[in-house]
Amino acid sequence: MVKKIYLIGLGLIGGSIALSIKKHDPAIHILGFDINKDQANLAKKIGAIDEISFTLFPDLTDVDMIFISTPVQQTIHIIEQLENVELKKDVIITDVGSTKVKIVECANYYLNSRIKFIGGHPMAGSHKSGILAAKPHLFENAFYILTPSKYVTSEDLNQLKSILSGTKANIIEMTPEEHDKVTGVISHFPHIVAASLVYQAESYEENYPIVKRLAAGGFRDITRIASSNPSMWRDILLHNKGPLLELFDEWITEMERIKQYVKDEDANQLFAYFAHAKQYRDELPEKQKGAIPSFYDLFVDVPDYPGIISEITGYLAKEEISLTNIRIIETREEIYGVLRLSFQTEQDRELAIKCIGKYSDYDTFII
């Protein structure tokens, strides 16, 4: 039975894990460490942890489980150091990194059979960061992938799953190799594509200054993920090098294929290409969290006149529905609504649809 947990890293992810554990089982004692002392103090103040550790490696001989909630490179460095730290026999160690092969390989090399390492990747996030953005329900209905190392037993996995049950996440087991290939194609590579599209637009701006203004609509939306943390994505690409190099080759082949269709003016192939993409995309789950955090946007078809924003926000305020962002859309190709409202959860967006329908006859759309 797990009675004491040590949590390294008290930001959004680590803090949310701690809050979900405390909510599910308040009797579990959580010792927490963060390099930022203010974050650690706030974590204790909001009840995410019971006790602050002022050093990275305090006395851990009575700790049953360790969560490493740090960037990938720091996680690897911590695992290397844990080889020389006295730990409780059969302690379970897990992490939250976005890549898994190198982390699990490191654990297999540095940690012996008395230490059970289970790679973890909770696939959820937020537009905010830090402990004050942490929520016990952050991972609810999201995928939480576990990639056990070679010394892990089914009993070890069940212990970790039991601790994570408070997250209400969909827990999936796979090998580290499977994880890195799958997340490469549906998370890591899309970030590369989004960043490259931004670079391409920037290169055109010198000759066509209107580019930046026109990019304020759909282009800005489809490249939102290019605004992600540069340090984090540098490390992810370096640690998932193998699968990503394969994806680069596959992407180049795909672009050559569609390029040839355009060159040949092959109308039938072009139609089939977009029709198949549309069909597959339309069949993707709508209400399930995936690898890339969802953007809960609602487009409202309203006339652009003074006071329209306060009118809409007034309706939402009456129903106590929280917004994260609101914006007038100028470039509206493929976007059916002049006003874009952004929400933190799908539930908030659904409530907003009902609210706007209750107080007005404005049409609302989800893309």
Q: What is the mean pLDDT of residues 142-151?
A: 92
Domain count of the chain? 3
Per the structure, the complete domain to which residue 266 belongs is given by 179-282
Question: Is the same domain home to 82 and 136?
Answer: yes
Residues 295/342, Cβ–Cβ less than 8 Å: yes
> What is the model's pTM?
0.79
Question: Is the same domain home to 275 and 353?
Answer: no
pLDDT for 303 beyond 80: no
Highest mean pLDDT among 58-72, 222-236, 273-287: 58-72
pLDDT for 56 beyond 90: yes
Question: Is the same domain home to 13 and 88?
Answer: yes
Spell out the residues 6+ positions from residue 296 whose beta carbon is closer than 8 angstroms to its own.
342, 343, 344, 345, 346, 348, 349
Domain assignment present for 117: yes
Q: What is the mean pLDDT of residues 144-172?
A: 94
Question: Is the same domain home to 45 and 148?
Answer: yes
Question: Is the same domain home to 235 and 147?
Answer: no
pLDDT at 6: 98
* Residue 155 confidence class, pLDDT cut points 50, 70, 90: very high
CATH of the domain at 321: 3.30.70.260
Question: Is the same domain home to 114 and 54?
Answer: yes
Question: How many residues make up the chain in this entry?
Answer: 367
pLDDT digits 0-9 by tens, 11-35: 999 999 999 999 999 999 999 999 9
pLDDT digits 0-9 by tens, 253-273: 999 999 999 999 999 999 999
pLDDT at 154: 94
Backbone conformation region of residue 296, classed left if phi is above 0, alpha if psi is from -120 to 50, else beta: beta
Question: Is the same domain home to 96 and 244?
Answer: no
Please report, to the nearest 10 degrees, the dihedral formed by the alpha carbons of residues 261, 264, 266, 270 taken in order: 20
pLDDT at 262: 97
User: Who wins on pLDDT, 365 or 58?
Assistant: 58
pLDDT for 332 beyond 60: no
Q: What is the mean pLDDT of residues 268-292?
A: 83
* Residue 287 confidence class, pLDDT cut points 50, 70, 90: low
Helix H, strand E, coil C: the string for 97-148 is CCCCHHHHHHHHHHCCCCEEEEEEEECCCCCCCCHHHCCCCCCCCCEEEEEE
Amino acid (1-letter code) at residue 124: A
Residue 144 to residue 142: CA distance in whole angstroms? 6
CATH of the domain at 25: 3.40.50.720
- Residues pairing with 193 in the sheet: none
